[in-house]
Structure 1
Amino acid sequence: MLGSFAVESLDIEHRGRTLRGVLHLPAGPAVAAPALVLCHGFGGNRAEFGYTFVRLARRLAAAGVAAYRFDFAGCGESDGDFTELTVSDQVSQVVAVVDALGAHPALDPSRISLLGMSLGGLTASLAAARRPVRSLALWAPAAVAVAMDGPAAKRRADAIAEHGYDDFGGLPIHLPFTEDAAGIDPFADAAPYAGPVLLAIGSEDFVLGPDLLERYRQTYGDRLDLHVFDGVGHGFETVPARERLLGLTEAFTADHG
């Protein structure tokens, strides 16, 4: 059974848009708590697949770590236009979230960490290089989302030129996304972050290119805590895999938060 915790709505303003979110706070004495910011994937929302963000936030809060779940602009219940989604804008939103949480009276501004799933993982890794966050957890980070060479990139460019968007599993990717991606190096731009990193990824994940893990090893060195989940794909699609993912993340955050 989980311990007690409190939940409050917390909206954050960013460039004229309201980012809507929920803050899970530990109950008990008024002690400034560490906090984890949860960044969802492309076209997702603050609950994430299988409500994993909700479940993780509750577990963390019950264990004494606050958790903030929010919808990126243009996603979920936040303001904004999804057609304008770019990685750089999402990074800027995470920076604004970290700054806002740092000013929250119930939180310790020196003990804020980041977690991201898929595109949210790429976003979190880039934001971690912009603020002195305590730790960084990456679930299936989509560094390939900003790869601008190879046949996949050409197919996307051709689709946008012909239809005005690329259809990615029923969600449109528009020109602003690809124009922004061209200026991002997912590894060099993330390298200034100097803290511990948890990397969890499925062995059958479509984002797992032949050299991806080596690139993360080169970027983070011995600070990288790597876990490859055998037999699952991008969404960690089994009950045991998701339970393991939550347990690893909770332990990592407790150790480094």
Structure 2
Amino acid sequence: MEHLDIDHDGRTLRGALHLPATDTAAPAVALCHGFGGNRAEFGYTFVRLAERLAARGVAAYRFDFAGCGDSDGDFDDLTVSDQVAQAEAVLGALAAHPGVDPERLSLMGMSLGGLTAQLAAARFPVRSLALWAPAAGAVSMDGAAAKLRADAIAEHGYDDFGGLPVRQAFVEDAKGIDPFADAAAYPGPVLLAVGTEDFVLQGDLLAQYRGLYGDRLDLHVFDAVGHGFETVPARERLVELTASFLAASV
């Protein structure tokens, strides 16, 4: 593993690159963490996934989005469009790395990182796309939820989401994003994993993912777990199936 910093828009994005033990340039996957997370992800699943990919001959880059973890920036400035631009910058930096094959890049994301990855995949050529509980609903809230958020921001200056602030900049940016139409240009295979108790990815959104990716979608539904795949067996299955999918499709 080596530390790899990437400059983007006046900020340094900090991360760790896991390279396989090979003398040839390897395919690579960029791992995009969820809202308020960091490059280790819940239960250190990104660390385990990156190590498992490297053992299969695939490089993996775990990085902190701006304002998160060790990266520069202010969390208050977080928007989906900015994260998509960061993901594109990360892919560009990986393509320039001497240990990486620039023609064999892929994306993987959890929750808001999953939404980020699906949007970035439509803008930067990648071989494959893996999504854990992607948060399309973050930019397509129903009227009642949107009003609650607007009221909270009007009163406090932010909406409190699990102890982290969602600011008006995030809301304004979301208005210009269609999570499905804006992702439609990506032509490759997709793995999607979701728990039956997930409050973020409900049935109607899941149906839209099926419509978006069609027969290119490899869907895995995990019984009796929520948004964070909260059991040891579920997380082991999640890491293993994702590593296998990405190694086979890059």
The answer on 1:129 being equivalent to 2:107 is no
Could you say which residue in structure 2 is the equivalent of 1:12?
Answer: 6
1:159 is aligned to 2:152: yes
Residue of 16, 22, 27 corresponding to 2:16 = 22
Give the CA deviation at 1:63.
Answer: 1.5
Aligned length: 250
2:217 is equivalent to residue 217 of structure 1 = no
Tell me if 1:37 matches 2:24.
Answer: no
* TM-score, normalised relative to structure 1: 0.96
Please give the alpha-carbon distance, in whole angstroms, between the structure 1 residues aligned to 2:46 and 2:117. Answer: 15
Structure 2 distance, partners of 1:164, 1:144, is: 21
Kept after mapping to 2: 8 A contact 1:11/1:21 = yes
The alignment yields a C-alpha RMSD, in angstroms, of 0.7
Instruction: List aligned pairs for 1:87-166, cutoff 5 A.
Output: 87-166=80-159
Q: Are the aligned partners of 1:148 and 1:182 in contact in 2 as well (CA < 8 Å)?
A: no
**Other-structure match for 1:77:** 70
Q: Quick one: percent identity of the two aligned structures?
A: 77
Equivalence for 1:205: 198
Greater per-residue helix proportion? 2
Maintained 8 Å contact 1:111/1:134: yes
Q: TM-score, normalised by structure 2?
A: 0.99
**How far apart, in 2, do the equivalents of 1:79 and 1:94 lie?**
15
1:62 to partner: Cα distance: 1.4
Residue 54 (structure 1) aligned to one of 28, 43, 47: 47
Task: Return 210-219 or 34-43, whichever deviates more.
Answer: 210-219
Supply the distance in 2 between the matched residues of 1:248 and 1:76 (Cα, whole angstroms).
Answer: 27
**Deviation, structure 1 residue 210:** 2.7
SS of 1:179's equivalent?
helix
1:178 to 171, 179, 183: 171
Asked whether the equivalents of residues 19 and 79 of structure 1 are also in contact (C-alpha less than 8 Å), the reply is yes
Aligned partner of 2:2: which letter?
Answer: E
Partner-residue secondary structure (3-state), 2:36: coil
Deviation at 1:217, TM superposition (A): 1.0
Question: Structure 1 stretches of 5 or more lacking a match?
Answer: 1-6
**8 Å Cα contact 1:148/1:181 also seen in 2:** no
CA distance in 2, matches of 1:228, 1:75: 29
Q: Is the 8 A contact 2:134 2:201 kept in 1?
A: no
Equivalent position amino acid for 2:8 in 1: H
Structure 1 residues 148 and 201 mapped into 2: Cα distance closer, same or farther (>3 Å)?
A: closer
4+ long deviations beyond 2 Å: none
**Structure 2 unaligned regions, length at least 5:** none
Report the CA distance between 1:148 and its aligned residue: 4.1
